[in-house]
């Protein structure tokens, strides 16, 4: 990857849909995954092996992965909160339609861990170690540190704790680590400091910036992460998502950074996303149709910047 290229993981189908109270049909999800492929995303968060009683949006995870179109060089990612989830992922893999990547979750605060994962931090780390063992090296493992910039229950989170969590994931064999601003408490200053620190500590580790736009700072924080050396980002078309619909924490619009807006700012800065902008916009429209309402992207209303040099037609 050159200094002026980034990789964006499209998270609409998992992090985006977990916040929805109405179940999105399996065929609709599969169709959206096909459009994400066509737009050029090489990492796509496809679903979750969360307990379907707690997060019913993903009760069809196996069916989605079985029907999802596949393309060489593209990785589907599924979220696993506990060892049982990884066992389900292994079963699907052995059946011939598993995910290429698994996200393993921890929270940087005790309160969020107990609320979101129903486990203390130390117990969740024991779960993660077991999950790594169950995965048997058959997946690319993505360590996820939630509430890395602040907790909705405890407030301040020590960056040193986040750095220790990242190191712990590395020791357990994680291939990638994602840093989550779960309820939009990060600022460009705190983002630059943390990503610069992680870059110094783990020079060869891909670290992902996962920002939520709860307080309107998602794009600014993404640019700050880029300036600090980050080249991997998570986002969701339409800016949807947040906590699971049945687990309430955070207020306001808790969704992810809008993919459309993130792509626009990077491309306008001369930073390549490797995406087909017309097809990104088509996928954006398809996401709005799937949820039956206008979503939160500014670019979905205004179109991509006319200053972006591109070979496809302007939207």
pLDDT tens readout for residues 278-291: 999 999 999 999 99
Nearest to 103 by CA among 53, 156, 50, 51: 50
Q: Write out the H or E segment, with its range, that includes residue 114.
A: none
Q: Identify the CATH number of the domain defined by range 7-302.
A: 3.20.20.70
Closest CA to 33 of 2, 6, 71: 71
Domain ranges of the chain: 7-302
pLDDT value, residue 312:
43
DSSP single-letter state for residue 163: H
Q: What is the pLDDT of residue 19?
A: 83
Enter the DSSP assignment of 314: P
**Which among 97, 116, 94 is positioned nearest to 106, based on CA atoms?**
116
pLDDT tens digit sequence for 45-100: 999 999 999 899 999 999 999 999 999 999 999 999 999 999 999 999 999 999 99
pLDDT at 310 over 80: no
| Average pLDDT of the segment spanning 236-258 | 77
Predicted pLDDT of residue 311: 43
Q: What is the pLDDT of residue 196?
A: 98
Percent share of the chain, pLDDT over 90:
87
φ, ψ for residue 127 (rounded to 5)? -60, -45
Q: How many CB atoms lie within 10 A of CB 89?
A: 26
Phi first, then psi, for residue 170 (nearest 5°) are -60, -45
Ramachandran assignment for 137, one of left (phi > 0), alpha (psi -120 to 50 degrees), beta (any other): left
| Phi/psi of residue 306, nearest 5 degrees | -70, -10
Per-residue pLDDT of 122-174, as tens digits, reads: 999 999 999 999 999 999 999 999 999 999 999 999 999 999 999 999 999 99
pLDDT-based confidence at 212, cuts 50/70/90? very high
d(CA 57, CA 244): 9
Residue 313 has pLDDT above 50, yes or no: no
Rounded (5°) CA angle 71-76-79: 170
Is-contact 120 110, C-beta < 8 A?
Answer: yes
Is the confidence at residue 1, as pLDDT, over 60?
Answer: no
Structural contact between residues 89 and 142, judged by C-beta atoms closer than 8 angstroms? no
Average pLDDT over residues 170-195: 97
What is the model's pLDDT at position 142? 98
CA–CA distance, 217 with 289 (Å, rounded to integer): 26
pLDDT band at 315 (very low <50, low <70, confident <90, very high): very low
DSSP helix, strand, coil percent of the chain (3-state; round to 5): 45, 15, 40
Q: How many CB atoms lie within 10 A of CB 244?
A: 21
pLDDT of residue 251: 64
pTM of the model: 0.94
Q: In sequence order, which residues have a C-beta less than 8 Å from that of residue 155 and are 6 or more positions away?
A: none
Report pLDDT digits (tens) over 5-37. 999 999 999 999 998 989 999 999 999 999 999
């Amino acid at each position: 990857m050159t200094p002026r290229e980034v990789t964006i993981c499209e998270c609409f189908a998992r992090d985006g849909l977990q916040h929805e109270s109405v179940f999105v049909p399996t065929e609709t999800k599969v169709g959206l995954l096909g459009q994400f492929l066509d737009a050029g995303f090489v990492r796509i968060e496809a679903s979750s092996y969360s307990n379907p009683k707690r997060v019913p949006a993903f009760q069809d995870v196996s069916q989605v992965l079985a029907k999802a179109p596949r393309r060489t060089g593209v990785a589907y990612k599924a979220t696993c909160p506990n060892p049982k989830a990884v066992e389900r992922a292994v079963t699907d893999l052995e059946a011939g339609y598993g995910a290429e990547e698994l996200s393993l979750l921890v929270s940087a605060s005790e309160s969020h861990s107990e609320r979101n994962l129903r486990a203390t931090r130390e117990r969740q780390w024991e779960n993660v170690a077991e999950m790594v063992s169950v995965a048997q090296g058959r997946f690319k493992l993505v360590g996820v540190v939630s509430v890395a910039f602040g907790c909705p229950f405890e407030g301040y989170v020590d960056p040193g704790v986040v750095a220790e969590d990242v190191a712990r994931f590395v020791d357990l064999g994680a291939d990638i680590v994602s840093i989550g601003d779960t309820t939009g408490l990060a600022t460009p200053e705190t983002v630059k400091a943390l990503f610069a620190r992680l870059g110094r500590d783990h020079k060869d580790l891909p670290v992902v910036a996962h920002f939520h736009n709860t307080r309107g700072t998602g794009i600014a924080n993404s640019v700050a992460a880029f300036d600090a050396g980050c080249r991997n980002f998570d986002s969701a078309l339409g800016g949807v998502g947040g906590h699971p619909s049945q687990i309430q924490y955070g207020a306001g619009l808790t969704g992810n950074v809008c993919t459309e807006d993130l792509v626009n700012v990077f491309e306008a800065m001369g930073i390549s996303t490797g995406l087909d902008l017309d097809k990104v916009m088509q996928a954006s429209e398809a996401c709005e149709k799937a949820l039956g309402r206008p979503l939160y992207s500014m670019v979905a209303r205004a179109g991509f910047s006319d200053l972006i040099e591109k070979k496809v037609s302007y939207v």
